[in-house]
Amino acid sequence: MSLDGLKWTIARYFKSIGEPLPADLPAVLGPYQGDIACGQPRTVVGGQVEFWDAGVIVVEPDVPAGKDVVISCGVHGNETAPIEMVRDLLQEILSSQLVVRQRVLFLIANPLAIVAGTRFVHTNMNRLFSGAHRSGNSLEHQRAAQLEQYVSRFYRQQKRYHYDLHTAIRDSAFERFAIYPFPHDNPYCKEQLTFLAECGINTILLNQAPTTTFSYYSVNTHQAHGFTVELGKVKPFGQNDMSRFAAAANMLRQLISCDELKLPEFDPNRHQIFDVNRTINRETDSFELHFSEDVPNFTEFEVGYVLATDGAIKHRVEQPGERIIFPNAQVEKGQRALLLVKPIAIEQLKLV
């Protein structure tokens, strides 16, 4: 019997929380009728697929080649293209079209929000890692805690990776970009920058402080190479042009199916680097952005322009070259509503 890993995830998760599936689900989500139980491995060419939990699927090669790779999607439920990408990778593995040589943990993170077709249901899951899930008891808080435990259970080998796949709420001047979590005192990795460039991702945003994102959890807690990867713009299921995601999907296939990934030499000219200059949080109920919803990420405004008001506070552009990214006036109070970033030369980075 064939297995649709996404439909199985949704059916299994809703059964576990005792909730019926809505009747008007998109076709890609279910219902799934099958015979797979958690803890029951499935044999594929070159290894086994293990089902640890709803949306927690591990591929164990017979002879692992040395890397532990986490590929996560659906932390935000309306970011459908990465979910479809992971579904397709799982289908290829389960049908033995893709033979995996590296250990892989696939995570479909937020089934509740995926079914709702929303970014989140109770709270932004990508603010709930590195222990931040202890601040509440919603299903998303509980799920974030479980995902941390599964990542900790999975990592065994010295070479560890985590690609947390997303799409952005709005268009971007640079369609695909990756957020490099705060490395503390560690250098930035040339090999990983080259891998991202081969994925079609030449724009890198440096995060210069600890965060509660999923990718930072793996970087800080498990010393993995990890990234939040933005692959395009949010669209409903069935409306994604998957050809725009082909380069990233193909590189992930190569990463997990090859003993050693063959990459070109590092070329600093392939990359444009942005550093976070300022973070603007929403502090009051009257927070408001002063540019339209169709203004793309990485748009530059003139010095003095009022980007946002928050009660009596006016947030202006303070320096030439500042650009906006991730503007969202609807975040909860205390959370990030806007980042301001500036380009920096790659030569300023400590690289290895």
Selected catalytic residue, list 84, 198, 230, 322 = 230
Dihedral of alpha carbons 308, 302, 297, 223, sign: negative
Q: Which two three-digit tokens encode residue 80?
A: 């459908």
First to last CA, the chain: 47
Q: What is the dihedral of CA 41, 43, 49, 54, to 10 degrees?
A: -50
Q: Are strands 336-344 and 67-73 parallel, antiparallel or unpaired?
A: unpaired
- Examine the residue annotation and report whether 230 is marked as an active-site residue of this protein: yes
Q: Are strands 47-53 and 42-44 parallel, antiparallel or unpaired?
A: antiparallel
Nearest Cα neighbor of 297 from 125, 198, 176 is 176
Q: How far is CA 215 from CA 48, 74, 142, 180, 221, in A?
A: 26, 13, 18, 9, 10
220, 71 Cβ separation under 8 angstroms = no
Q: For the chain, what is the radius of gyration of the CA atoms?
A: 20
Catalytic (active-site) positions: 230
